[in-house]
Structures are given as C-alpha cells and as structure tokens.
Amino acid sequence: MSAPLLDGMDVFKRLRAACEAAGGQGAWAERHGMSAAYVSEVLNAKREPGPAVLNALGLKRVVKFAEVRRVNG
C-alpha cells in the first residue's frame, strides 16, 4: 500500500517539529547544510520547500492532475 499524500500544511508541521526537536531552526538548518534564513522563509511561507528541505524530511514532491471536464475527441 502506498503512503498517503501530504499537503503543504503537513510539510510545514513536519518541518516545524523537526526544528523544535533539533533545538531550533538554526540547529536543524546547520545539521542539513542549509541556511537558517532559508528554513525561516519556508516556515513563514515566503518560499516553497525545495529539494534540500524535502530530502531532509524524507519527502519528495509529487505532482497530480485531476480531470475537471471531459474532453471529447
């Protein structure tokens, strides 16, 4: 069975919890080789979480499409 898909809020919550467990945003960022400013921008919704953040959280971005109307032909 596949893992459930997460939304942006789920990613935010995981990042927030990971930072708290590491002793703060700066500590978590340093441990994963990124700047504290970048992590802060992600947590404050100024930037999307990029590959570095997602990899550190054990996540990957998945794009899905949904049909909104049937196309004939």
The total number of structural domains in the chain stands at: 1
Q: Tell me which residue range forms the domain holding 41.
A: 1-73
Handedness of CA 1, 60, 17, 8 (dihedral sign): negative
pLDDT digits (tens, 9 = 90+) for 34-70: 999 999 999 999 999 999 999 999 999 998 888 888 7
| Sequence letter at residue 36 | A
Contact 61, 8 (CB under 8 A): no
Kindly report the pTM of this predicted structure: 0.83
CA atoms within 13 A on the CB side of 56: 22
Q: Give me 41's structure tokens.
A: 């921008």
CATH number of the domain within which 35 lies: 1.10.260
SS3 call for 30: helix
